[in-house]
Amino acid sequence: MRLVLGADVGGTHLRLGLFDADSWQLLWQGKRGWRGADDSPESLAAALLATLREAEAAIGHALTELPLGMGLAAQLSPDGRTVVNGPNLGWRDVAFADRMEAALGRPAGSIAVCNDLSAIVMGELAAGAAVGVRSLVALYAGTGVGGAAVVEGRLVRGTGGTAGEVGHMKLPGGQAPCGCGEVGCVESVAGGASLGRRLHAMHFATDLAGELPSDPARLERAALAGDAEAEGIVAEVVDALAFAASGLCTFLNPEVLLVGGGLLERAPVLASRFEARTLSLTLAVARARLEIRRGSLGDEAGLLGAAHQALQRLV
Nearer to Zn ion, 104 or 193 (CB): 193
Nearer to Zn ion, 113 or 185 (CB): 185
Choice from 168, 266, 293, 308 touching Zn ion (CB under 5 A): 168
User: At its nearest, how many Å lie between Zn ion and the CB of residue 174?
Assistant: 10
The distance between the two most distant Cα atoms of the chain, rounded to a whole number of Å, is: 59
| Residue 309 three-state SS | helix
Site string for Zn ion, 54-93 (x = CB under 5 A): ----------------------------------------
- The residue among 30 and 184 lying less far from Zn ion, judged by its C-beta, is 184
Name the minimum Å distance from CB 270 to Zn ion: 21
- 185 binds Zn ion, rule: CB under 5 A: yes
Q: How far apart are CA 129 and CA 300, in angstroms?
A: 12
Cβ proximity to Zn ion, 22 vs 182, nearer residue = 182
Other residues' Cβ atoms within 10 Å of the Cβ of residue 115: 25
CB neighbour list of residue 300: distance below 8 Å, 6 or more residues apart: 17, 26, 29, 123
What radius of gyration, in Å, describes the C-alpha atoms of the chain? 20
- The span from the CA of 304 to the CA of 37, in Å, is 30
For residues 60 and 57, give the distance between their C-alpha atoms in angstroms, rounded to a whole number.
5
CB of 278 to Zn ion, least distance (A): 20
Question: Shortest gap between Cβ of 185 and Zn ion (angstroms)?
Answer: 3
CB within 8 Å of 185: residues ≥ 6 apart: 167, 168, 169, 170, 171, 174, 176, 178
CB of 201 to Zn ion, least distance (A): 21
Compare residues 190 and 223 and give the one whose CB is closer to Zn ion.
190
Interacting stretch for Zn ion, rule CB under 5 A, among 51-59, 179-187, 215-223, 247-255? 179-187
- Residue span binding Zn ion (CB under 5 A) among the ranges 48-56, 113-121, 176-184, 226-234: 176-184
Which residue lies nearer to Zn ion by CB, 168 or 266?
168
Q: How far apart are CA 168 and CA 146, in angstroms?
A: 8
Smallest distance from the beta carbon of 183 to Zn ion, in angstroms? 8
How many residues belong to the site for Zn ion (CB under 5 A)? 5
User: What sign has the CA pseudo-torsion 29, 92, 190, 205?
Assistant: positive
Residue 21, SS3 per DSSP:
coil
Between 168 and 218, whose beta carbon lies closer to Zn ion? 168
DSSP label of 183: B
Judged by CB under 5 A, the stretch of 92-100, 160-168, 252-260, 276-284 that binds Zn ion is: 160-168
Contact of 101 with 111, CB cutoff 8 Å: yes
Q: Which is nearer to Zn ion, 127 or 189 (CB)?
A: 189
Task: State the SS3 of 198-235.
Answer: HHHCCCCCCCCCCCCCCCHHHHHHHHHCCCHHHHHHHH
Report, in Å, the least distance between residue 250 CB and Zn ion.
22
> How far apart (Å, rounded) are the C-alpha atoms in residues 18 and 59?
10
Q: Tell which one of 113, 155, 178, 190 touches Zn ion (CB under 5 A).
A: 178
Site string for Zn ion, 122-151 (x = CB under 5 A): ------------------------------
Q: Site residues (CB under 5 A) for Zn ion?
A: 168, 178, 180, 182, 185
